[in-house]
C-alpha cells in the first residue's frame, strides 16, 4: 500500500516552506555570495545572484566557479523541495565557448 500523495497546493506549500527553511540556514549562498532564492516549487527552483567585485576574475567577468556554485545551490533547492534530504552525486557544467 502506498501513502497518499499530497495535493498540488500542499506540495507547493511544502516546497516553499522547505526552500525558506533551507535559505534561512544557507549563510554561504545567502550572505557570502549574495544569492537570492526567487522561487522553490516541487522539483524546481530559481535563484539569482548579482555579480559583485568579489565574483570577478582577472578578465573582470564573473568567475565560472561562482556560476557553477549558483547552479549547484539552485540544484540543491530543487532536489530538496519535497522535504527529502538530498545531496548531489555528481555534477558538471560545460562552457561551450568564450563570451566576448
Task: Give a yes or no: residue 91 inside a domain.
Answer: no
What's the rounded mean pLDDT across residues 66-82? 96
Domain containing 72: what range?
16-80
pLDDT band at 94 (very low <50, low <70, confident <90, very high): confident
**CATH assignment at residue 67:** 3.10.129.10
Residue 93 falls inside a structural domain: no
Q: What is the pLDDT of residue 3?
A: 73
What is the Cα–Cα distance from 5 to 54, expressed in whole angstroms? 44
Does 53 reside within a domain?
Answer: yes
* Inside any domain, residue 43: yes
pLDDT for position 1? 62
Total count of domains within the chain: 1
**How confident is residue 69, by pLDDT bands cut at 50, 70 and 90?**
very high
Residue 63 or residue 5, greater confidence: 63
**57 within some domain:** yes
34 occurs within a structural domain: yes
What pLDDT score does 92 carry? 85
Give 24-86 as a DSSP string.
HH-HIIIIIS-EEEEEEETTEEEEEE---GGGB-TTSSB-HHHHHHHHHHHHHHHHHTTS---
The answer on pLDDT for 75 being more than 80 is yes
pTM given for the model = 0.87
Amino acid at each position: 500500500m502506498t501513502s497518499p500523495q499530497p495535493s498540488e497546493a500542499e506540495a507547493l506549500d511544502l516546497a516553499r516552506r522547505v526552500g525558506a527553511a533551507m535559505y534561512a540556514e544557507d549563510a554561504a549562498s545567502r550572505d557570502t555570495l549574495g544569492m537570492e532564492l526567487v522561487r522553490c516549487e516541487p522539483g524546481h527552483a530559481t535563484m539569482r545572484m548579482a555579480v559583485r567585485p568579489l565574483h570577478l576574475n582577472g578578465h573582470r567577468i564573473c568567475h565560472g566557479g561562482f556560476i557553477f556554485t549558483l547552479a549547484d545551490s539552485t540544484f540543491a533547492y530543487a532536489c530538496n523541495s519535497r522535504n527529502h534530504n538530498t545531496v548531489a552525486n555528481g555534477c558538471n557544467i560545460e562552457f561551450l565557448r568564450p563570451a566576448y
